[in-house]
Amino acid sequence: MNEMELKYGCNPNQKPARVFMEKGDLPFTVLNGKPGYINLLDAMNSWQLVQELKKATGLPAAASFKHVSPAGAAVAVPLSETLQKTYFVEGIELSPVATAYIRARGADRMSSYGDFVALSDECDAQTASFLKREVSDGIIAPSYSEAALEILKTKRKGTYLVLQMDPNYQPEKIEKKQVFGITFEQQRNEIALTEDCLTEIPTKNKDIPAAAKRDLLISLITLKYTQSNSVCYAKDGQAIGIGAGQQSRVHCTRLAGNKADIWYLRQAPQVLSLPFRDDVRRPDRDNAIDVYVGDEYMDLLGGDNWKRVFTEKPPVFTPEEKKAWLATQTGVSLGSDAFFPFGDNIERAHKSGVAYVAQAGGSIRDDNVIETCDKYNMAMAMTHIRLFHH
């Protein structure tokens, strides 16, 4: 089949809508549900992302997409005991692909609500079982076990979108799109992101260990499929904060840094010991945690509000306690889809435990950025690769 009619385009008033191939058949098969326009944009972008992560690291990869940018991306690095508790999978032996999915979904659970999931490897029953519990619109993978497919077909009253992608599909070198009746054409961005792009290190500290190189590559590959301007913080084999589509780079750095801070605050003892009621739904639990670690915690704890989610009133997570916990965050990697124009980005990154940086370089203020990295003993690689994505 080389053409598929869609319900509508980005919005219900945008009809008719379809996807089609100028040559050959569509490279995916719909196993369940009916795809929408944005579903397929997320699917095609997220599929490329997980394929590149798998190629760069040799590990199964997963991504959680929302509105054509990743909310999370990860590879199958085993979870620490703390992250097992944070991601509510304590004591469960996870398959590699399930580990990647749990990490990708766990990066920013608020943004992943209603996401589109991509897996680099076959979806197994365990991953499908975890996904069944989440609010999600669809999934794309190269294959599904029989048990996994049966599980996913029961999700969303049988309407959950399941796409099987042809892993051997290779697109044309030239890509096109239309905007306002005008056709844009360019060569696809097929640049390979490998450790070779991390060899130029102008900072005094030139030590980037293997785990940090892996995380920098995860960050850069994630940015390759994130709406620009964009910045990504990564640690332990996963993105922990993604700032997408900002007009100012420092706003990207702040936005992504705030998300990375929330990711780390969720691992604090005060959060891990929250006394949730057994009947609290997962989205309500995630919302409560987000409020608890944020500045609106009194809205949650005021009066009898706490009774909606907790068995007893938890103690306030004070600003002083949060600041002290965040100060223990270390070893974070940071990637940028273009150069940092000023050292203020590095100043903000330092507050979220960044020790390793990868950015294009080429700013007239590179000296200021390098000087700021040296101030905090960060190791920074200049890739000379811009990764704008629109």
d(CA 323, CA 308): 27
- Percent of the residues in the chain that have a pLDDT greater than 90, as a whole number: 89
Q: Where does a domain end: 170, 199, 234?
A: 170
Q: Is residue 389 part of a domain?
A: no
- b/e map 237-271, b = 16+ CB within 10 Å: bbbbbbbbbbeebbbbbbbbbbbbbbbbbbbbebb
The secondary element (H helix, E strand) that includes residue 319 is: helix 319-326
> Is 218 part of any domain?
yes
40 & 135 share domain: yes
67 catalytic? Reply is yes
For residue 195, the model assigns a pLDDT of 95
Residues 154, 52: one domain?
yes
Write down the catalytic residue from 55, 67, 153, 251: 67
| Digit-coded pLDDT (tens) for 46-70 | 999 999 999 999 999 999 999 999 9
Cβ(357)–Cβ(378) below 8 Å: yes
Residues 6+ apart with CB under 8 A from 44: none
Asked whether residue 212 is assigned to any structural domain, the reply reads yes
- The tokens describing 280, both together, are 């609290």
pTM of the model: 0.95
Quick check: 76 pLDDT over 90?
yes
Amino acid in the structure at residue 176 = K
Catalytic annotation, pick one of 23, 157, 173, 390 = 390
Closest listed residue to residue 219, CA positions, set 171, 250, 252, 246: 252
Do residue 220 and residue 354 come from a single domain? yes
Do residues 257 and 275 share a domain?
Answer: no
Q: Name residue 30's beta-bridge partners.
A: 163
Tell me, yes or no, whether 41 lies in a domain: yes
Can you give the pLDDT at residue 271?
A: 95
Q: What's the alpha-carbon Rg for the chain, to the nearest Å?
A: 21
pLDDT in tens, 170-220: 999 999 999 999 999 999 999 999 999 999 999 999 999 999 999 999 999
195 and 293 housed in the same domain: no
Question: Considering the domain boundaries, does residue 387 fall inside one?
Answer: no
Bridge partner list, 10: none
Q: Which of 119, 108, 115 is nearest to 72 (CA)?
A: 108
Tell me, yes or no, whether 195 and 330 share the same domain: yes
Contact 25, 186 (CB under 8 A): no
Q: Is the pLDDT of residue 37 over 80?
A: yes
The range of the structural domain enclosing residue 205 comes to: 175-265+326-382
Buried/exposed 89-128: b ≥16 CB within 10 Å, e otherwise: beeeebbbbbbbbbbbbbbbbebbbebbbbbbbbbbbbbb
Judgement on whether residues 163 and 193 belong to the same structural domain of the protein: no
Which pair of structure tokens corresponds to residue 152? 């996913």
Digit-coded pLDDT (tens) for 109-128:
989 999 999 999 999 999 99
Say if residues 219 and 241 touch (Cβ distance below 8 Å). Answer: no
Confidence class for position 299, pLDDT limits 50, 70, 90: low
Domain count, the chain: 3
Is residue 107 situated within a structural domain?
yes
The pair of three-digit structure tokens given for residue 97, joined into one six-digit string: 């692909």
pLDDT value of position 300 = 67
Q: Is 388 contained in some domain?
A: no
Considering the candidates 32, 45, 66, 322, report the single residue annotated as catalytic: 66
DSSP for 243-289 reads EES-SSHHHHHHHHHHHHHHHHHTTSHHHHT--B-TT--HHHHHHHH
Q: Tens digits of per-residue pLDDT, 135-156?
A: 999 999 999 999 999 999 999 9
361 by Cβ neighbours in 10 Å (0-12 / 13-18 / 19+) ranks as: buried
Residues 253 and 121 in one domain: no
The mean pLDDT value of the chain amounts to 94
Q: What is the per-residue burial (b if ≥16 Cβ within 10 Å, else e) of 144-170?
A: beeebbebbbebbeeebbbbbbeeeee
- Last residue of some domain: 316, 336, 355? 316
Residues 93 and 130 both lie in one domain = yes
**At residue 164, does pLDDT exceed 90?**
yes
CATH code: domain of residue 226: 3.40.140.20
369 and 232 share one domain: yes
Domain boundary among 137, 170, 203: 170
Told to judge if 66 belongs to the known catalytic residues of this protein, a careful annotator would answer yes
Whether 251 and 309 map to the same domain: the answer is no
Greatest distance between any 2 Cα atoms in the chain: 63
Distances (CA, A) of 123 to 68, 118, 144, 309: 22, 10, 5, 33
What would the mean pLDDT of 295-315 be, rounded to a whole number?
80
- For 324, other C-beta atoms within 10 Å of its C-beta total 11
| Confidence at residue 1, expressed as pLDDT on a 0 to 100 scale | 84
In a domain, 96, yes or no: yes
- Among 39, 45, 229, 345, the one annotated catalytic: 229
Q: Is the pLDDT of residue 43 over 80?
A: yes
Q: Are residues 229 and 292 in the same domain?
A: no
